[in-house]
Homo-oligomer: A and B are copies of this chain.
């Protein structure tokens, strides 16, 4: 029997065990070495078999922990549906709703499913404090000097070194430090558009992007977006000639959680290059993967300097620091000029602290803990939603990040549900926030990067009951 057939045979055998629920969601497959003995084959053959299973999304690998049966393999709830392209429909931005939800975020006694940032128990607070004190003690100027407009050199060097996923395609000279990722998105949009221009975004889309588009006097076209594959490239192609920019979150999208497949990323870069349309790639969740490795950003495939690759520490390390960055390709000089005019430079201390964290491996160490904890929460919330929410609930299948997107029965209005949940000290982000049209009213986004307590569990149960009671 050839090796090829051997690995397929093993894969088939495991597939059968999953179908029959002998192996269930979350179960660990035998380790590579155990399986080698079990099937009496080479280590490589086992690896091939497991990779085959992974390519069909039946199992998921978690670095250093092994392979686990994935949720996809046995999902009971359907995926959210895909919205149609709406260009002519009247826009109606959900500013009042956003203000309302943001206005309640400060409440410390809330179960915070609405937040777009991780809870404090996910952050290395004592280490950050220590690093800050060390940095301050070492600064002769007490932080009063201006930084270079482009940003702290030490930080830019460490980000470039740390961006191994780009395989050396960027250096410190390619990076500009920004005041968080939103500041980078805002400045990238400003650099490549003029008022009245069209920009493509996903649908549902992170509301901050819509707000930036509006502030700059631009128009957004919401491209139909698949919950597993991301933006529909055929639909995008139809509007591409009239676009001034695309603005996408390609890895562990907010709110859908998808990871755009590599082939789609390549095709996207090919398309924008053909039409000479800059792509603003917000890759702030890229390091929060549940799979084997950090996925490539589109920037990796960019030869023309059209991809503006954005990162930040907001989502994994220190939201309040407002440290982000962008590798803006050929638009670098414009971005630097804009930053000079808008703020002169970034404050130095936070840059130094983050550079210190990156340089001494503390960021890497923290991320490993962060992903592990987050993946456990992800399994928890999937189970809880399946257990407590109605059977017709549709749910996303994030491959990383910390957002779950739910589509409820058509009769449910999550804006109303929000008020009821709020009175029970439960918070979430209503779906209406994620579009400029009157849609996603029966959807909601849940943040699961919070300390998983009994209260969280019982609050999800409460939320499920509130929904069931509505029909």
Contacts and interface: CB of A to CB of B under 8 A. Distances in A.
A120 B132 contact: no
A129 B142 contact: yes
A211 to B, nearest CB: 4
B144 A321 contact: yes
Contacts of A102: 149, 340
Interface residues of A, number: 56
Contact of A143 (B217, B321, B342): B321
A182 B139 contact: no
Interface stretch (A60-68, A263-271, A343-351, A444-452): A343-351
A337 B210 CA distance: 13
Interface string A314-340: 000111111000000000000001101
A147 B319 CA distance: 10
Contacts of A149: 102
A379 interface: no
A275 interface: no
Specify the main secondary structure of chain A where it touches its partner: helix
A137 interface: yes
A344 B321 contact: no
A146 B319 contact: yes
A49 to B, nearest CB: 43
Residue among A141, A319, A322, A342 facing the most chain B CB atoms (10 A cut-off): A342
A65 to B, nearest CB: 27
B141 A180 contact: no
B341 A322 contact: no
Contact of A347 (B136, B321, B337, B340): B321
A107 interface: no
Contact of A344 (B120, B126, B182): B182
Contact of A341 (B136, B148, B211): B211
Copies in the complex: 2
A195 B190 CA distance: 13
Nearest to A322: B347
A345 B139 CA distance: 25
A125 interface: yes
B319 A145 contact: yes
B341 A208 contact: yes
Contacts of A183: 342-343
Interface in A238-258: none
Contact of A141 (B125, B194, B317, B338): B125
A213 B86 CA distance: 35
Contact of A343 (B140, B179, B344, B348): B179
Given A141-B125, A142-B125, A144-B120, A345 B322 contact: yes
Contact of A137 (B123, B133, B350): B133
A144 B132 contact: no
Residue among A120, A126, A343, A350 facing the most chain B CB atoms (10 A cut-off): A343
Contacts of A129: 136-137, 139, 142
A102 to B, nearest CB: 8
Interface in A100-138: 102, 106, 117, 120, 123, 125-126, 128-129, 132-133, 136-137
A143 to B, nearest CB: 5
Contacts of A186: 341-342
A366 to B, nearest CB: 12
A212 interface: yes
Contacts of A337: 211, 215
Residue among A136, A182, A337, A348 facing the most chain B CB atoms (10 A cut-off): A136
23 contacts: A117-B146, A125-B141, A125-B144, A128-B144, A129-B139, A132-B142, A133-B133, A136-B136, A144-B318, A144-B319, A144-B320, A145-B319, A180-B344, A182-B341, A183-B342, A186-B342, A194-B217, A211-B340, A211-B341, A215-B338, A215-B341, A320-B345, A347-B350
